[in-house]
Amino acid sequence: MSPDGTLSIGDLAARTRTTVKTIRFYSDQGLLPEAARSSGGHRRYGPDAPARLRTIRSLRALDVPVPEIKRVLDSGDGLEAVVARRLAGVGGQLAALRWREAALRALHECEPGQLAERLELIGAVSVPPDTSALAHYWRRLLPVRLSARLRAAVTEAAVPQPPADPTPDEVLAFARVHALATAATDGCLASHRPVTETHPDLLYDGLHEAHRLVEAAVRAGRAPGPGEALDCYVAAYARAAGARDTPAFRQALAARLAAADHPVMHRYWQLAGKLIPGLTLGAADAWLRDALAAHTATV
């Protein structure tokens, strides 16, 4: 170190076991400012340069980008925040790798005649996969007048999330449900829109409670039939329509629900059931429709 306390670029390199070329690069990027220049025009660095250089090298070893390191060093952006962001980034990269591995296995393990179809399906899903197409599908299906609260609740329950560590079968299920939602045209969506009422919030609040009761019935091993869950289900439709729960209303409701049934929704819930843990909304609603059909058949 010189009498003025500064270091030459060679001294700094020796103290930190860094190459002169690397130090020049960090200096040119504005990460390692010079304290002065010698009479011969050589770079001189202050006594804090070794510690600053070690910080730079440590962050680069963690793949922190140069602009982000500059913000840490110059503007006081906390190291804790940088570490948290990098950790989140690595988590995303690992999730993408796990998805790609399962996707490749799904392609590698299929029959030769299935390869082209599977490749097209899987290739249409972004990596890491997102659920925007599925959320859009449900926003179009749900009644326009449904409150934002219930719209969000139904969409959250109905849209399957990509598994963090998927199996090949789960990759295929997600790709297929994604393709189904993406391919649904406006006309197709309208053709299998669920039965709606004048007061959709009344209906969907009641359906939520009925579906909760179905979960309890299924856990108890009860087959679809009369009971509290079915009464709650019918009452929701009756309230929304401004009607009373009568045998005639139940007969008419059973006919309406049967007419509104659509194979696209059957396929959606079949695929979603491979991705959503527990009882899906579709499975709960099917249990209730079967219960209603069984009940009206005996009246």
* C-beta neighbour count of 217 within 10 angstroms: 21
Q: Are residues 243 and 184 in the same domain?
A: no
Q: Are residue 140 and residue 235 in the same domain, yes or no? A: no
Q: Answer yes or no: is 119 within a domain.
A: yes
CATH of the domain at 33: 1.10.1660.10
Identify whether residues 175 and 265 lie together within a single domain.
Answer: no
In whole angstroms, how far apart are CA 64 and each of 17, 97, 152, 159, 278?
20, 20, 36, 34, 40
Q: Pick from 77, 92, 125: which residue ends a domain?
A: 77
pLDDT score at 194? 54
Report the alpha-carbon distance of residue 160 to residue 118 in Å, rounded.
20
d(CA 255, CA 251): 6
- The one-letter amino acid at 201: D
Q: What is d(CA 197, CA 212) in angstroms, rounded to the nearest whole number? A: 21
Question: 123 with 27, same domain?
Answer: no
Say yes or no: 52 and 107 in one domain.
no
Q: What is the pLDDT along the chain (299 residues), one digit of tens a residue?
A: 565 678 899 999 999 999 999 999 999 998 998 877 876 778 889 998 999 999 999 999 888 888 888 888 877 667 788 888 888 888 889 999 999 999 999 999 999 899 999 999 999 999 989 999 999 999 888 988 899 999 999 999 999 999 989 999 999 999 999 999 988 754 454 444 555 557 899 999 999 999 999 999 999 999 999 999 999 999 999 999 999 999 999 999 999 999 888 888 899 999 999 999 999 999 999 999 999 999 998 86
Would 27 be classed as within a structural domain? yes
Specify if 2 maps to a domain.
no
Q: Which of 30, 47, 77 is the last residue of a domain?
A: 77
One domain, residues 87 and 178: yes
Beta strand residue intervals within the chain, DSSP E: 7-8, 36-37, 43-45
Same domain, 238 and 205: yes
* Residue 244 domain-assigned (yes or no): yes
- The reply to whether 23 and 92 lie within a common domain is no
Same-domain pairing of 87 and 187: yes
Q: Quick one: pLDDT at residue 74?
A: 78
What's the pLDDT at 76? 64
Tell me, yes or no, whether 171 and 87 share the same domain: yes
Q: Please, which residues have CB within 8 angstroms of residue 55's CB and are 6 or more apart in sequence?
A: 72, 73
Tell whether 17 is covered by a domain: yes
Does a structural domain hold residue 1? no
Structure confidence at residue 167 (pLDDT): 96
CA atoms within 13 A on the CB side of 219: 8
Q: According to the model, what pLDDT value does residue 187 have? A: 47
Contacting residues for 173 by C-beta, under 8 A, at least 6 apart: 160, 271, 272, 274, 275
**Does 287 share its domain with 244?**
yes
Q: Indicate the number of domains in the chain.
A: 3
State the Cα–Cα distance between residues 56 and 150, nearest whole angstrom.
Answer: 49
Using the Cα atoms of residue 214, residue 217, residue 221 and residue 223 in order, give the sign of their dihedral. Answer: negative
Please enumerate in sequence order all residues whose Cβ is within 8 A of that of 4, keeping only pairs 6 or more positions apart, or say none.
36
Q: Which domain holds residue 70?
A: 7-77
Q: Where among 191, 218, 246 does a domain terminate?
A: 191
DSSP string, 49-75: HHHHHHHHHHHHHTT--HHHHHHHHHH
Same domain, yes or no: 180 and 94: yes
